[in-house]
Amino acid sequence: MALTEENREGRRRAPLAPWLKTTLMTVGSIAVTMLGLLFVTFVIGRVMPIDPVLAIVGERASQSTYQEVYEQLGLDKPLIVQFFYYLWDVIHGDFGMSLLNARPVSEDIARVFPATLELATLGVFAGIVLGVPLGVIAAVRRGSWIDQIARVVALVGYSMPIFWLGLMGLLVFYGILGWVGGPGRLDIFYVDIVPQRTGMILLDSALDGNWEVFRNAFSHIVLPASLLGYYSLAYISRMTRSFMLEQLSAEYITTARVKGMSERAVIWRHAFRNIRVQLITVIALSYANLLEGSVLTEIIFSWPGIGSYITTALLSADMNAVLGGTVVVGLIFILLNIFSDLLYKVFDPRSK
């Protein structure tokens, strides 16, 4: 009887072992990846031909002043010692002070990141809503005029430089037609009217019930978000088409059709259902690319996001801001990968 009780206890505790092992492996993987990211970005920042001391004191400063600031920044210590000091500060959420405005880099990133998050989220949402159905229809009607149009749309989206599309969009839709707002997030009249809760103006104005500010913010974001959405659409539709073609040629699809199942059910209930896991990775990568790769879009539209922040910091030799922004972008990639892994377990029972 005692042995039976022990077996029952063992059976109840057994499922915890794989879960604990998976959790520890995930945490360890995140820690190692972040450590490698921090080390690589730190070393690159130190070996770049940019002198942060000169950015502070200026070229006309005396040698004694230069040396004093040099030692205050800890640049007189060995590189590995500098890295461990930096690692300790980052663990405590301290990315140092910005050389441009003498404010903590963490505060600057918290201020500019919501703008990029808002822009990229709308862009990837448009890419999903339009790109997934377009890819599915193109695969179902392979070789038709719809398929040809979808392939041309994806090709143009991949081939056209986004800065050129941005400039042409501003010229046509803002300069000539006047359909959208100009550069920036708001007209100057509407700045600071709505209290910032999330930093995302569309959400903040909606929460505040100020629909006039919401409309003005939407008129400014619609064009850059559409450009990013088009870039995302090109990638998502192309991959969706490829995944669907592979599934539609499988034997189980032929069997389902022979059994008399409707074409709608064959496409969406069987073929599309089997590509959801692959689409998760595609969408996560697309979202991450928009979050970190919208630098040109932000510069063209004077969008105060993290991309333009890192670019301005780099041109001004503000390496604390560059390293802080780079680490945040890398962390986003890691978190999105983890999120996609969690969604795997939801949509694919075989991964549990």
Q: What is the DSSP string of 281-338?
A: HHHHHHHHHHHHH-HHHHHHTT--SHHHHHHHHHHTT-HHHHHHHHHHHHHHHHHHHH
Residue 134's pLDDT is what? 92
Question: Which two tokens mark 234?
Answer: 């090109």
* Stretches in the chain below the pLDDT threshold 70: 1-23, 49, 55, 293, 346-352
CA-based max dimension of the chain: 88
231 within domain boundaries: yes
Cα–Cα distance between 346 and 7 in angstroms, integer? 30
Residues paired with 104 in a beta bridge:
97
Contacts of 123 (CB under 8 A, 6+ apart): 224, 225, 226, 227, 228, 229, 231, 232, 290, 294
Residue 62's pLDDT is what? 77
User: What SS3 state is found at 155?
Assistant: helix
317 within domain boundaries: yes
187 within domain boundaries: yes
193 within domain boundaries: yes
Per-residue burial over 255-285, b = 16 or more CB atoms within 10 Å of its CB, e = otherwise: ebeeeeeeeeebbeebbbebbebbbbbbbbb
Residue 14's pLDDT is what? 47
Question: Which two tokens mark 215?
Answer: 């409309």
Residue 2's pLDDT is what? 46
Q: How many domains does the chain have?
A: 1
309 within domain boundaries: yes
130 within domain boundaries: yes
Cα–Cα distance between 279 and 132 in angstroms, integer? 9
Structural domain that includes position 333:
112-351
User: What CATH number is given to the structural domain containing 271?
Assistant: 1.10.3720.10
89 within domain boundaries: no
CA distances in angstroms from 151 to 139, 263, 289, listed in the order given: 10, 23, 21
